[in-house]
Amino acid sequence: MKRRLLALLLCLQAAPLLAKELYITVRRDFGPSEAPEVELHYGRQAPFTVRLYRPKDMKEFVTSQIDLRRAWREPAVEWNSAKFLFSGLNKTRLKLDWLRSATNFELRKNLKDGFGGGSFTPSGTRLSEGPAKIVAGPANFTLVTELSFEPDGADARAPFDVPGFDWWFSREGSLRQKLVRLPKLGPGFYLVQVLQGDLEGQVVLVVNDLSASVQQTDGAALVRVARRDGRPAPGADVDVRNLRGQWVANGKRIPTVCSFFKT
């Protein structure tokens, strides 16, 4: 199987996704033998839905992202017609107490023994209306798994200490923090979508079974590729992309652990 290592991963660092009162953070890449973790910092007491997607075209997804730490694909959004139907039913009142009250007293008295006397109509059970809009996943992605859960009362308030953002937030922590553990995944890029009420956010998750070191001069670069456990990864391809989304080099495969290309 052809194995590829994206040199851009060497610069990939943990970064949060900001969405009003919801922050989504993946602090590092994970190996295939690990259960990936996603941190949620939140302020609302509303249910969460976490969806994990895999790009149908992995290289196209990487190419289209100028900064993988800020990756975002517009999700499919449609109006939830059921909300308006249920809202109308919840406001409908079919009380017929006025009909009983308007009936002749003697008639009601004569019917009492047969019908058990009068009673007032109890309030009906309200239907759950749901959100005004339904948010689905972005196009050209395959849903891997979906999780739904309520905020936990045990979720502690914790400082938002992601490097580069911690200076903006109070050190005491005004948001609650929840750690979401995902199932083990195969190598590749994944898109994590988090929904809470009308909030929607995304962040990239990387599962990587390779590591690399780079030596670079003015006109060339040497990339040493190894498996995550330190064993050699012979025959690996190294593709290099710049920050304009252009693939600028492809490493020459060497039967050991190195790739060489001109810069």
Residues 6+ apart with CB under 8 A from 34: 184
User: The domain containing residue 94 runs over which residues?
Assistant: 81-130
Q: What is the per-residue pLDDT across 33-48, written as a single tens digit (0 to 9) for each?
A: 999 999 998 888 889 9
Task: Provide the 8-state DSSP code for 123.
Answer: P
Residue 24 has a CB neighbour count (10 Å cut-off) of 22
- Report the pLDDT value the prediction gives residue 14, as an integer from 0 to 100: 46
pLDDT at 247: 80
Q: Is the pLDDT of residue 86 over 70?
A: yes
Q: Domain count for the chain, please give it.
A: 3
Above 90 in pLDDT, residue 51? yes
Q: Would residue 243 count as lying in a domain? A: yes
Q: Looking at the DSSP assignment, which residues form a beta bridge with residue 200?
A: 195
Residues in the chain: 263
- Confidence check: pLDDT of 262 > 80: no
User: Do 30 and 108 fall within a single domain?
Assistant: no
How large is the average pLDDT for residues 61-69? 69
CATH of the domain at 48: 2.60.40.10
What is the overall mean pLDDT for the chain?
A: 77
DSSP for 79-113, written as a single string: E-HHHHHHHHHHH-----HHHHHHS-HHHHHHHHH
Q: Is the pLDDT of residue 6 over 60?
A: no
**Of all residues in the chain, what percent carry a pLDDT higher than 70?**
72
pLDDT tens digits, one per residue of 110-157 = 777 776 665 655 666 788 887 788 888 888 899 999 999 998 877 777
Of 208, 225, 246, the domain-final residue: 208
Q: Quick one: pLDDT at residue 117?
A: 61
Q: Binning pLDDT at 50, 70 and 90, where does residue 88 land? A: confident
| 151 part of a folded domain | yes
110 and 234 share a domain? no
C-alpha separations of 179 from 21, 26, 98, 103, 232 in Å: 16, 10, 55, 63, 33
Compare 160 and 49 and report the one with higher pLDDT. 49
CB-CB contact of 250 with 238 (8 Å): yes
Per-residue pLDDT, averaged over 166-185, amounts to 75
Query: Is pLDDT of 225 > 50?
Result: yes
The H or E element containing residue 147 is: strand 141-149
pTM (predicted TM-score): 0.69
HSE, side-chain direction, 13 A CA sphere, residue 178: 20
Last residue of a domain, one of 185, 208, 231: 208
Give the lowest-confidence range in 63-67, 68-72, 148-152. 68-72
pLDDT at 249 over 50: yes
For residue 156, give the nearest of 184, 185, 177, 182 by alpha carbon: 177
Backbone angles phi, psi at 62, to 5 degrees: -65, -40
pLDDT band at 263 (very low <50, low <70, confident <90, very high): low
